[in-house]
Each structure stands twice: as structure tokens, then as C-alpha cells.
DNA sequence: GCCGATTTGTCCGTATGTATC
DNA sequence: CGATACATACGGACAAATCGG
């Protein structure tokens, strides 16, 4: 539940746009009108609108107004730019999620592992392999490395449900940001086995590796997500910034 | 040249962070200090800092301060979240770009094409196939569809250089935002031929399809970029937003 | 082409809330 | 508890772009 006023205004406008209260390409009411509607200050309203811009819902044009450019097609995918757990994105798209824990271990990071995980060699971590199903189809094979110190008490049972829910609700950790790199990699035998694909077909995977930070500034998670290529679909809205 | 003060402050701080004026995990000077440094208002400074947050350069923590979390490794790739031409990103990463125009035609959009391009059937467009080389290696095969009405006077010569430069500098068009979807697709014979890869190796491509809008709100470009998988690398910083 | 009204963009100063130490 | 630091919000001022008369 967001307490900030601009969050509520943002959500209200967003919901109105999604509900086609404004038609595609139509101008929204002017700032002054909306200020009266929500009886808030100009700054607060502008802040809400700027979120809609980064979401790709509207375009602002100086001297003209704010245009609705929302088209529902594109939104129905993994949305990047925000951090969302597997369960959250499944729920958002109306799918049935299931998570199978293939491996749950803990060990100390080796020299070699420290290079790609970013954890210093010797630090204790949980290493978890999980297979994510969507509507009973295995789609994503996840390799999670969690800093043990920052994520105490993690169990296989928690991993079967939502680790993020545990972090946020039980440990009261605040996840702040995540740096991700998307690549395409060769499929391994492990991928093949779990995702039930044969190499005659696709021989690659969409791979998303991420380093995630909490509000204490510690990088507590390194994850490699290996996605079945034919179901992989990432959406983003990019904004041209001044040079 | 950005005229806005917050742009300059943002750039100055960004440059300082990149130059390691602040060490990793170190706190930046407080807002009040920075306000005095730049002799600006609180709002202006906060706006600059918030750009650094979305760039993944810093983390803000209420009650504590602003922490530097910049690590240069990740930044040296295609950066998503912003719109950048091929030449711009090549220059940013210190590479030598070259563009070969394989095909330059114009025609009216068919019913079938209108489904994926988003242009209404019957509209006149330029269809261009271009091969982008980086340091003499063919990496990206681009299929561009430009709305003829919005991009008059496009020639093969312009396409060999920078179309975006033509749009912005000659036509004075303002590119605003771009909705993109990233997928992994099977490699075609055309891909194979131009990117000089054999199917025994990778049989997939990283594909980025984009719909790009200008400041008049018209979707003037549909592009499918087919990237050689072993050189494809997209970077992003995602921020956890309140639910 | 000019002028004034409208609309968004930038900036400032101030007040209050909330988290950290 | 008080001091410090970031978060939210308000109101006002001027600039820049657009549009209609």
C-alpha cells in the first residue's frame, strides 16, 4: 500500500489509461485540470505523470499536452526495468506458477566463482537450482547464489515458494536495485534435460544474469536465469535523453 | 549541450563517479553539501541524483546518505533504457562502426505486414536492410520500416551513414521513446549468409523489435534487429518500485 | 507575422515527515 | 532524545513551445 500521494495519483491514472478512459493518441486533461481533480500541487502531479512516461504509457509535449500512447499488446510479457519475482509476474499475466527445487546447498565461494558472481572468494553462500513452471511447462532454470550472511535461515521450503517474499516480509530486507545483463548462450545438457527440449530444435538459451542489492548496499544475490528461448519475451520502453 | 541545470549537475556527478572521485560503497556528500557545492535548490539536486539512481550509479538511503555502487564492468555494453543509434553506441565503446545497405526499397504495407509492424495496411514505407559491422565484423542485421510520410527524402546514402542523424539534424524530428521486445529466434539462411555463421554452431539470433515514436506522437519506425548471439549483450539496471 | 492564452519544462524556497545514528 | 539525512508536498515564478485569432 503506497502512502505517497503521487503513487496513488500515478496508479489511478495508470488504471484509467488501461481501462481505456482515454483513447489511443488522445490528450489527457491538462496539468491544471488534473491538479484540481486530485487537489494536489503541480510537483506532485508531474511526478505521477513522469512515471507514466517511463512506463511508456504517455508522451508529454511542451506546449501541447500529454498524449496517451498505451497499447496493451506489448505490456503482456516480462516487463524489464522493474524487479519482479517469478510469482509476481505470473500473477500479473494470469498464469499458474510452480517452482521445483532441484538443488539446495551451501558452500564457500571459490576463486573462479568469485569472478562472475562478484562475491569475494571464501564467503559463505546458498546455492540453489530451481526450475520454474508456468502452466505446468518448465520455462526457466535458475541458478541462485545468496549471500548467507544477508539471508539467514533460508530453507528448501522457502525456496519452493517465494524467496523474495521471505526476504521482504520475514527478514524485512528492502530490495533496491538489480543490475542485469542479457545474453544468448549455448544450451547445456542440464538445460536440455530439465526444459525437455532437444538440441535439433533450438540450441541456445536466453540468459539473464543479475546482481541484486539491498538497502544496506550489499550485493546479496547473484542469479543466472536460463530461459527457454521460444517462450522468452522481454519488454521495455526506452526514452531518448538529451545528449 | 544540455541547458537545464540539473542535467549539468547530473553529468558532473556522473563523471566524478566514473573517475573514481568516490570509492565503491562510499557515501557521497549529503544533499545539503551538494546544494552548496552547486549552489542550486534542493529539487534541482535531487533530480540530478535520481537520474544517477536509475542509471544504477548510486543508491539513496533515507536517513543515511547516498552510496556509490558504480562498477565499470557492467556499463561497457549495449545499454538499454535509452535510445542510442548504432554509431553512438559504437563510439561510446570505442569501436569502429560500418554500415552496409543490403536493400533499399519502398512499398505499401500489406495486410500481413500491418499486423507486426503496427502500420495500417496501405501506408507507404521505406524498407531497408542494413548490415552493421563493428571492427569489420558483421554483427547485426537490421530490417527497418520507416513511415515515408514522416521521413521524406531518405536515400541509400543516408542509410549508409546515420539515419537518426538525418532525422534529428536535417528533418529536425525529435525522437521520444521506443517500445522494444527482446526475443530469441531461429536463425534464417539470410542471417547465416550475412553474419557468416554456420548453423552447426549457434542456430539462434537475439532479436530486438522496436516501435519508435517521435514528438508528434506518430510511430514512424518499426525495426527488427537481428543480433549475432555470441556478441549480443544488453545491460540494464532495474529498480524495485513500491507495490 | 504578431500577440495572447494555454500547456509543459525548469527552478526556487519552505515546511513537514520519516529513517538513521 | 536531538541532530542529520533523505522523502514528500506545497506554492510561486519564469521560460519555452504550441495554437488560435
Residue A62 belongs to a domain = yes
Q: Determine the Cα–Cα distance for residues A15 and A8; give it in Å rounded to an integer.
A: 10
Angle between helices B31-38 and B42-54 (to 10 degrees): 110
Residues B142, B41 within the same domain: no
pLDDT score recorded for residue B75: 47
Residues A199, A97 within the same domain: yes
Q: 3-class DSSP state for residue A108?
A: strand
- Nucleotides of chain C in contact with protein CB (under 7 A) are 6-15, 17-21
Which of B41, B68, B95 is the endpoint of a domain? B68
Identify all chain B residues contacting A68, using CB atoms and an 8 Å cutoff: none
| pLDDT class of A37 with cuts at 50, 70, 90 | very high
Residues B148, B229 within the same domain: yes
Q: Nearest nt to B39, CA vs C1'?
A: C12
Residues B17, B129 within the same domain: no
Residue A149 belongs to a domain = yes
pLDDT score recorded for residue A134: 86
What are the φ and ψ backbone dihedral angles of A51, each rounded to 5 degrees? -70, -40
Q: Kindly report the average pLDDT of chain A as a whole number.
A: 86
SS3 content of chain A, % helix, strand, coil (to 5): 30, 35, 35
Q: Nearest nt to B34, CA vs C1'?
A: D5
Residue A231 belongs to a domain = yes
Summarised one tens digit per residue, pLDDT across range A153-167 is: 999 999 998 888 888
CB proximity B63 to A under 8 Å: no
Residues B84, B203 within the same domain: yes
Residues A162, A112 within the same domain: yes
B13 CA, C18 C1': Å apart: 27
- Which H, E and C letters describe chain B, residue by residue? CCCCHHHHHHHHHHHHHHCCCCCCCCECCCHHHHHHHHCCCHHHHHHHHHHHHHCCCEEEECCCEEEECCCHHHHCCEECCECCCHHHHHHHCCCCEEEEEEEEEEEECCHHHHHHHCCCCCCEEEEEEEEEEECCEEEEEEEEEEECCCCCCCCHHHHHCCHHHHHHHHCCCCEEEEEEEEEEEECCHHHHHHHCCCCCCCCEEEEEEEEEEECCCCEEEEEEEEECHHHCCEEEEEECCCC
Residue B84 belongs to a domain = yes
Q: 3-class DSSP state for residue A87?
A: helix
Lowest-confidence region among A72-86, A103-117, A122-136, B209-223? A72-86
Instruction: Answer yes or no: are the C-beta atoms of B46 and B15 closer than 8 Å.
Output: no
User: How far is Cα of residue A128 from the mean position of the Cα atoms in its chain?
Assistant: 19
Task: Name B115's Cβ contacts closer than 8 Å, sequence gap at least 6.
Answer: none
Task: Determine the structural domain holding residue B180 and report its residue range.
Answer: 78-235
Q: Which stretches within chain A are classed as H helix?
A: 5-18, 31-38, 42-54, 72-75, 86-92, 111-117, 156-160, 163-165, 189-195
For residue A199, pLDDT beyond 60: no
Residues A119, A53 within the same domain: no
Chain A: nearest CA to B79, how far in angstroms?
9
Residues A12, A87 within the same domain: no
Q: 3-class DSSP state for residue A31?
A: helix
Point out the residue among A53, A176, A237 whose CB comes nearest to the CB of B179: A237
Residue B220 belongs to a domain = yes
Q: Averaged over A109-116, what is the pLDDT?
A: 89
Kindly list the protein residues whose beta carbon lies within 7 Å of any strand D atom.
A 4-7, 39-44, 47, 61-64; B 28, 30-33, 42-43, 46, 60-66, 215
Residues B36, B156 within the same domain: no
**Cβ pair B204:A184 closer than 8 A:** yes
Point out the residue among A56, A74, A181 whose CB comes nearest to the CB of B77: A181
Residue A242 belongs to a domain = no
pLDDT score recorded for residue B2: 53
Residues A182, A222 within the same domain: yes
Point out the residue among A4, A233, A238 whose CB comes nearest to the CB of B81: A238
**Cβ pair A178:B82 closer than 8 A:** no
Q: Determine the Cα–Cα distance for residues B115 and A112; give it in Å rounded to an integer.
A: 48
Residues B88, B144 within the same domain: yes
Residues B33, B105 within the same domain: no
- Max distance between CA atoms of chain B, in angstroms, equals 62
Which of B68, B88, B118 is the endpoint of a domain? B68
Q: Determine the Cα–Cα distance for residues A65 and A61; give it in Å rounded to an integer.
A: 5
Residue ranges of chain B with per-residue pLDDT less than 50? 1, 74-77
pLDDT score recorded for residue B74: 47
* CATH number reported for the structural domain that contains residue A172 in this entry: 3.40.1410.10
Residue A243 belongs to a domain = no
Which of A27, A50, A68 is the endpoint of a domain? A68
Output A87 or B238, whichever has higher pLDDT.
Answer: B238
pLDDT score recorded for residue B81: 53
**Cβ pair B80:A77 closer than 8 A:** no
pLDDT score recorded for residue A40: 95
| Total domains, chain B | 2
Residue A228 belongs to a domain = yes
**Cβ pair B236:A202 closer than 8 A:** no
For residue A204, pLDDT beyond 70: yes
Point out the residue among A177, A202, A236 whose CB comes nearest to the CB of B81: A236
Residue A102 C-beta-side C-alpha neighbours within 13 Å: 16
* CATH number reported for the structural domain that contains residue A38 in this entry: 1.10.10.10
**Cβ pair A178:B238 closer than 8 A:** yes
For residue A80, pLDDT beyond 80: no
Amino acid at each position: 500500500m503506497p502512502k505517497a500521494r503521487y503513487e496513488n495519483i500515478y496508479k489511478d491514472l495508470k488504471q484509467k489509461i488501461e481501462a481505456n478512459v482515454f483513447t489511443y493518441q488522445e490528450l489527457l486533461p491538462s496539468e491544471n485540470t488534473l491538479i484540481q481533480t486530485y487537489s494536489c500541487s503541480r510537483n506532485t502531479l508531474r511526478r505521477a505523470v513522469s512515471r507514466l512516461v517511463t512506463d511508456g504509457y504517455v508522451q508529454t509535449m511542451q506546449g501541447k499536452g500529454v498524449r496517451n500512447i498505451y497499447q496493451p499488446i506489448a505490456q503482456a510479457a516480462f516487463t524489464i526495468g522493474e524487479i519482479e519475482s517469478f510469482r509476481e509476474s505470473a500473477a500479473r499475466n494470469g498464469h499458474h506458477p510452480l517452482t521445483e527445487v532441484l538443488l539446495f546447498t551451501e558452500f564457500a565461494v571459490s576463486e573462479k566463482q568469485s569472478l562472475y558472481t562478484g562475491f569475494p572468494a571464501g564467503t559463505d553462500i546458498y546455492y540453489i537450482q530451481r526450475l520454474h513452471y508456468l502452466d505446468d511447462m518448465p520455462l526457466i532454470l535458475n541458478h541462485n547464489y545468496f549471500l548467507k550472511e544477508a539471508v539467514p535461515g533460508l530453507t528448501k521450503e522457502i525456496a519452493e515458494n517465494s524467496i523474495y517474499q521471505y526476504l521482504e516480509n520475514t527478514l524485512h530486507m528492502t530490495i533496491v536495485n538489480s543490475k542485469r545483463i542479457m545474453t544468448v548462450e549455448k544450451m547445456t545438457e542440464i538445460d536440455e534435460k530439465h526444459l525437455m527440449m532437444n538440441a535439433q530444435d533450438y540450441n541456445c538459451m536466453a540468459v539473464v544474469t543479475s546482481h541484486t542489492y539491498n538497502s544496506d548496499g550489499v550485493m546479496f544475490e547473484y542469479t543466472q536465469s536460463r530461459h527457454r528461448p521460444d517462450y522468452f519475451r522481454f519488454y521495455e520502453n526506452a526514452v531518448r535523453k538529451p545528449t
